[in-house]
Structures are given as C-alpha cells and as structure tokens.
Amino acid sequence: MADLISLKEIKRHYDVGGEVVRALDGVDLIINPNEYISIMGPSGSGKSTLMNMIGCLDTPTEGIYEFEGELVHKMDDNQLASIRNRKIGFVFQTFNLLPKATALRNVEVPLIYANMTKNDRIEKAKIALISVGLEERMHHKPNELSGGQRQRVAIARALVNDPSIILADEPTGNLDSKSGVEIMKILDKLHSGGNTIILVTHEEYIADHADRTIHLFDGKIKVDKKVTKKRQVST
Amino acid sequence: MISLFWENLRISLGSIFGNKSRSILTALGIVIGVLSVTLMGTLISGLDRTFEKSMSFLSRDVLIISRMDWFGGDMDWWELRNRPRIKEDYVEQLREKSQFVAAVAPMAERGGSIFRGDKRIDTRFFGTTPEYMATNESADVITGRYFTDGENRSGARVMIIGGDVADALFTDEDPIDKYVKIGSHKFRVVGVLKKQGKFMGMFSLDNQAVLPFGTFQRLFSRRGWMNVRVKVNTDNYDEAKEEIYGVMRQIRGLKPMEKDDFAINQSATMEAQYKAIKLAIGGTGLFITALSLIVGGIGIMNIMFVSVKERTKEIGVRKALGATQSMILGQFLMEAVLICLIAGLVGMGLAGGLSLLINQFFPSSMPVGLAIGSIILSVVIGIVSGLIPSYQAARLDPIDALRYE
C-alpha cells in the first residue's frame, strides 16, 4: 500500500529573540491509509507543531514532506490552502465554529472554498451532519448547541470534503466525560468506515482508542508503537 | 467563484448589520463626503444649465457696443467715467460704414414704474427701434404685435410688456389695447413678450417694458444708459468685431495712439468670465468636499483594521478549512466596498432630495452622470481604504491566527 504521508528528517526551527527553538528536530514518520494514530507528549514536545506540519498549516525548515505523492514542503500558500481544503479535515479542541452561522452553514464552509454549487453543498453538508447524528439540529447556531454537539458539527465539517485524513487536536479537551465518550465513538466509527485519523492528546485513555501511539519528546519521536490492548468504548 | 461571491456578500452583510452603530458611524463619513461632492456637482451643473439658458437672450452673433466693458478690464474708474456716451446716431453710422451689419438697434434703458388703477410694478424700460427684434432671438411677441416704424418716429404712446408686468397688472385679462400709465402719461399695450425666465436665477428677464425709441426719448431725458446692439451677417465674429472696432474708432474720431473709449461686449465675453468663476468655485468646492471623502475613507480603513483584528481567529479557521489568501482578501474587501456603496447610495439619495429642496431657491438638478459617478467613486474609496486591512488579513499566518484569543 502506498504511503499516505511520509515525513523525512523534518525539522522546524523558530527564531525566538535570537534563540533557536527546535520545535521539531528530525522527525521521520510514515502514515498509511486507514491508520488510527495518537500523538502524545508533554507540553513543548512539539505535538502541536507536528500536527500543524501534517495539517499543512506550517512548512518545515528542513526535510521532505510528501502527501499522497505531492511534495508539500515545496508548496506555496495557495497550494497549501488547496491541499488543506481537499485532503485534510481539522477538529479543534475549542471547536472553532463560526458563531453567527448555523450548523449547516458551518459545515458548508469548506465546500464553498472548494467552489461547489449551492445545492450540492447543502446536500453534502446534510449527509455529514446526519452521519454525526445532528439531523435535528442543522439550523441551530453554535450558541444553541451543547459542547458535544458543537464538536460533532466540527467533525461533520472536517468530514464533508471526504478528506484523506482527519486531524483531531485534543478533541475531547473541552468536553465533559460523557460528551467526550460520544465524540470518541464517532471517531472510532469513522475509522472503521475507512478514514485515517490522527489524534493529539495527553490522556492515555483517549490515546488507547488508536491503533498506534507516537510519543514526542523535545521535537523527536521517542516511542512509536502499535497498541495491543485496544480499549473498546462501552455502550 | 460565484458561490464564494455570495458567501462573501453574506459574511459582509452579517458583519455590517451585526455591528450596526459602528457601521452607521463609519458610513457617516462617506455619506457626508458623497453628499457634499454630489451636491457640489449638482449645483455646478445647475449653474451651467442656467447660464446657458440665460445666455440665449444674447446670441453669439450679437455685439453690444457700450461705454463700459461688462467685466472690468484694466481701466481706471475715472477714465471709464469720462468716456463719452453712446449716441443714437451711431446706429445709422454703423449701418453705413460697416459691411458686417445685419441689423442694428439702439437700446436705451432706465428704471421706473408702471401703474394701472391701483396696481403698480417697478420695472426696467427699454427704448428701441422695431429693428431690435432682429437683434434679439429670444425676444418674441406672443400676443399682440410689435410697434411700427411710424409709431417709433411719431413717438406714439404704445408699449410692449414682459410677462411679469402682464401678470402684475392684468391678472385675468388680455392686456392688448388696454391702457397703463407711466407717471401721468397714458400708454396703450400693444404686445406681450414671451417669458424668458430669470437670468442666473437672480433677476427676471420678464420684468421689462419696451417703448419705441422716439417715445422713450421724449418721455425721459436723453441722458441715460444706452447701448447699441449689432447683429452681424457673418460667422466670422472676430473679423466683424475687428471691423466694428475700426468703425467705432472712426465715429469717435480717435487718433491711432489713443485708447478705445467704448467697449464691444458679446456673449463670449460673459462666457469666458463665467467659466473662470465656475472653475474657481467648482475647483475649490470639489477640492474641499473631496477632502471630506478622504477623511471618510480613513474612517473605513480604521474600522476595517478593527474588523480584521476582531476576526483573527475566524480568519485562521477559514484558512485551515482551505481559504486562500485571495479569498480572505476578497471577503474583507467586499465588506469595505459594501459599507462605502451603501453609504454612497444614502449620500446620493440625500443629495438628490436636497437638490430638489435647493431648486426652490436656486436652479439645481442632479445629472445622471454625477449620480453614477458618485457610486463609482464610493466603490473606489471602499477598495482603496479596504485594501491594506484586507491584505493584512489575507497575509495572516494560519497558526498564529488560530491561536489568537
């Protein structure tokens, strides 16, 4: 099977007040289709930087990044925007929904940037919302939804463009445990449906949902292991 | 791109109407700017049209020989004061000596009152000959007739009145063959002039009465203001004017080195003067009002910076979801243009309304070109003042923007 993502010797250095911060310091990583990966590590270990790198929000200072054969490290801003739009679905800790737009319109946004016609857009957005169980709440605005529901809107938004990979950055971090369980169930279901998912977390029990766990420390991969005892969400 | 356009429109409207008081205050600058620019333009074009209309009493092929230049010149007042009067026998001399005269008429003038019973109107009297009609295209008798050569020679007590005089003295009657009085002298009204309206909205051209020249001279003293109107028979006005200058110098007996002691005025003189005044008023006015537009534009720019700052996180999210720099640029540019466009339309509407109001006192009307121009202008201001903030938004780093709280 061809690699979905291949990172070779990725370095990301920042210049902070004359001092070089090595957020990523030589990361090699291959991600295959339909993998379910969690990224863990203490604060400052480079989790977020790695996530931004994989999500094409950032480009490496050094190294080679291939996404489905496309050379991301050589792309300009417009190409990066396009690859984010077509191939990557983001789920953020703080949901990051547009507050004045309904759930349906929030989910439509990536399709607008993909230049899809209105009818196709609404149809696809509805399907995505139904798949996360929000068919009843499509026309509600974020402030009329619970935290769990908001995160489900965000997942629908991440899904709607049929991305190659879903990046979830602490998706349960702002939720109560019950809502967190619901969200993880949805992510598990998406994975069994064939999606590739990367999860950033610092909770072991969340990381246990994944098949593979990567530990980062000081900008380097310290542990990269298959999860053997996979915890199943009780229903 | 069409779906993106509607999306941007929707976002912009949401942002503008979501911050109503802020949007109104910001737009006010542009409203005032557009209002003053269009109003200024409206007034100038009103002035233009009035001038053209007013000038019709003075055709281009008419020269008016007077003691004074209409517009100053560089003479000292005491020299002007000592200039000899224009005399009635110049009329015949001009006719004899100039080859360019098509028609020539004396035009004596003075103020006075006409009475009819207990009605009275203060007006201007003109004493002239029947040939006057040939020298003034806009003077037309609509009812009755003009006086004849015989009446002119015999000094008959007949007069032709302007529309205002007719309205004042004959409310619901036909003035023809009715009698009016100048002092103790009875006059028969033989004709009424077609209405010409006001000159530059200032004084009425219809408040006048025309008497036969002979009658005028008998009634009033010979000492009065007098011009000679000459209609030339050529299109080459300059050549005709040059020749008539020569003839006049000859009539006046001027030696070659002596300065002219008379003036030849024509519509071009007035036109040149008018254009200079218009340029001064219009130029200064438009410059000052354009300044207010620039201030309005700065207000827009300021509020757009605030809007970008406020929505930094949203920009980050949109970028993460695949918005390119130009899409973000378009979104904020649309907002700036939309505020300006709405403000421009409001300003134009107000200007239109105000020009109707002003029209009651001074002729003014908003030309279509100006209306379209002011709309284009407000769009341009929107683009210019929105460009830097929008560019700033477009250039935001998505990671920094997402982290922004």
Q: How many CB pairs under 8 A join A and B?
A: 67
Helices (H), A147-208: 147-159, 177-192, 204-207
DSSP strands (E only) in B162-314:
179-182, 185-193, 198-199, 203-204, 208-212, 225-232, 263-266
* Most confident of the ranges A43-52, A151-160, B288-297: A151-160
> Quick check: B318 contacting A, CB < 8 Å?
yes
Chain Cα centroid distance, residue B132: 27
Distance from CA of B29 to the nearest CA of A (A): 28
Give B-chain residues touching A110 at CB under 8 angstroms: 321-322
Share of chain A above pLDDT 90, in %: 82
For B293-320, the three-class secondary structure string (H helix, E strand, C coil) is: HHHHHHHHHHHHHHHHHHCHHHHHHHHH
Phi and psi (nearest 5°) for B395? -85, -5
Distance from CA of B282 to the nearest CA of A (A): 47
Per-residue pLDDT at B332? 95
Q: What angle do CA B221, B227, B232 make, to 5 degrees?
A: 145
Distance from CA of B14 to the nearest CA of A (A): 8
Average pLDDT of chain B is 86
Per-residue pLDDT at A220? 93
- Of B265 and B300, the structure prediction assigns the larger pLDDT to B300
Average pLDDT of chain A is 91
Give A-chain residues touching B327 at CB under 8 angstroms: 81, 113
Residue B156 has pLDDT above 70, yes or no: yes
Distance from CA of A176 to the nearest CA of B (A): 22
Nearest CA in chain B to A160: B321
List all residues 6 or more positions away from B115 whose beta carbon is below 8 Å from its beta carbon: B180, B181, B182
Candidates B14, B322, B398; nearest CB to A110: B322
| Pair type for strands A62-67 and A5-16 | antiparallel
Distance from CA of A10 to the nearest CA of B (A): 18
Task: Map residue B9 onto helix, strand or coil.
Answer: helix
List all residues 6 or more positions away from B344 whose beta carbon is below 8 Å from its beta carbon: B30, B31, B34, B374, B375, B377, B378, B379, B381
Residue A39: pLDDT band with limits 50, 70, 90: very high
Cβ distance of A57 and B321 shorter than 8 Å: no
Decide: B319 and A81 in contact? Cβ < 8 Å.
Answer: yes
Helices (H), chain A: 47-54, 77-87, 103-113, 118-131, 147-159, 177-192, 204-207
Average pLDDT over every residue of A188-217: 92
Distance CA A64, CA A100 (A): 40
Distance CA B206, CA A56 (A): 82
Residue A182: pLDDT band with limits 50, 70, 90: very high
Candidates B7, B325, B398; nearest CB to A57: B398
Question: Which region among A45-54, A128-137, B200-209 has the lowest average model confidence (pLDDT)?
Answer: B200-209
Per-residue pLDDT at B355? 84
Decide: B244 and B94 in contact? Cβ < 8 Å.
Answer: yes
Candidates B3, B326, B402; nearest CB to A115: B3
> Quick check: B325 contacting A, CB < 8 Å?
yes
Residue A93: pLDDT band with limits 50, 70, 90: very high
Per-residue pLDDT at B258? 85
Per-residue pLDDT at A66? 94
Tens digit of each residue's pLDDT (9 = 90 or more) over B166-179: 888 888 888 899 99
Per-residue pLDDT at A234? 44
Distance CA A204, CA A227 (A): 11
- CA proximity to B129, closest of B100, B151, B144, B162: B151
Distance from CA of A213 to the nearest CA of B (A): 24
Per-residue pLDDT at A235? 40
Residue A230 has pLDDT above 60, yes or no: no
Average pLDDT over every residue of B58-71: 80
Best B310, B321, B324 member to test A by mutation, with max A CBs in 10 Å, is: B321
Spans of all domains in chain B? 2-54+273-403, 84-261
Tens digit of each residue's pLDDT (9 = 90 or more) over B316-327: 999 999 999 999
- CA proximity to B114, closest of B104, B105, B125: B125
Residue B74: pLDDT band with limits 50, 70, 90: low
Tens digit of each residue's pLDDT (9 = 90 or more) over A170-180: 999 999 999 99
* A135 exposure class (CB count in 10 Å sphere: 0-12, 13-18, 19+): exposed
- CA proximity to B191, closest of B128, B150, B141, B140: B141
Candidates B4, B314, B321; nearest CB to A115: B4
Give A-chain residues touching B324 at CB under 8 angstroms: 77-78, 81-82, 113
- CA proximity to A163, closest of A118, A110, A200: A110
A176-180 long-range contacts, Cβ below 8 Å, gap at least 24?
A176/A147, A176/A148, A178/A148, A179/A146, A179/A147, A179/A148, A179/A151, A180/A148, A180/A206
Per-residue pLDDT at B27? 92
Distance from CA of B382 to the nearest CA of A (A): 24
- Of B328 and B203, the structure prediction assigns the larger pLDDT to B328
Give A-chain residues touching B18 at CB under 8 angstroms: 100
Average pLDDT over every residue of A125-142: 94
> Quick check: B251 contacting A, CB < 8 Å?
no
Candidates A86, A96, A116; nearest CB to B317: A96
- Amino acid letter for position A198: I
Per-residue pLDDT at B271? 77
Share of chain B above pLDDT 70, in %: 95
Give A-chain residues touching B6 at CB under 8 angstroms: 118
Question: How many angstroms separate the Cα of B288 from the Cα of each of B199, B313, B370?
Answer: 28, 40, 17
Question: Which region among A22-36, A140-154, B98-112, B360-374 has the lowest average model confidence (pLDDT)?
Answer: B360-374
Spans of all domains in chain A? 35-57+86-226
Residue B141 has pLDDT above 60, yes or no: yes
Chain Cα centroid distance, residue A112: 20
Residue A207 has pLDDT above 50, yes or no: yes
Beta-carbon neighbour count of residue A52 at 10 Å?
A: 21
CATH number attached to the domain at A35-57+86-226: 3.40.50.300
> Quick check: B231 contacting A, CB < 8 Å?
no
Question: How many angstroms separate the Cα of B60 from the Cα of each of A95, B202, B231, B239?
Answer: 78, 22, 9, 14
